Amino acid sequence: MAVSILNLSDGGVSLEFDSRDAKAVREAIRKRYGPIRRRWHVMSADVSFGGELFVFQNEWSDPCLISRSTTGAEMLEQIAGDLGG
């Protein structure tokens, strides 16, 4: 499984993963934080879980979840750790 954290210039993080690992990422999120809610837009989706809001993008079959807060960044780092990234 290819999962990694990319530190962004604004202090946030992006959880990067391969398309084939999307199901495992969703399962890890549900296991740790409960239900996932999504609101789709043309190029992205607003995703919420564990009381935090994230952005999901899948450009060029390169999916990622982007934090919108410090707490969200910590949550994504925990998920990456759960998945061995």
Which phi-psi region, left, alpha or beta, contains residue 60 (left: φ > 0; alpha: ψ -120 to 50)? Answer: left
Task: Tell me what pLDDT residue 51 has.
Answer: 97
Confidence class of residue 85 from pLDDT cuts 50, 70 and 90?
low
Contacts of 4 (CB under 8 A, 6+ apart): 15, 16, 17, 80, 85
Confidence class of residue 12 from pLDDT cuts 50, 70 and 90?
very high
Strand partners, 58: 63
| pLDDT tens profile 48-57 | 999 999 999 9
Which pair of structure tokens corresponds to residue 13? 């993080």
Helix axes 22-33, 70-82, angle to 10 degrees: 120
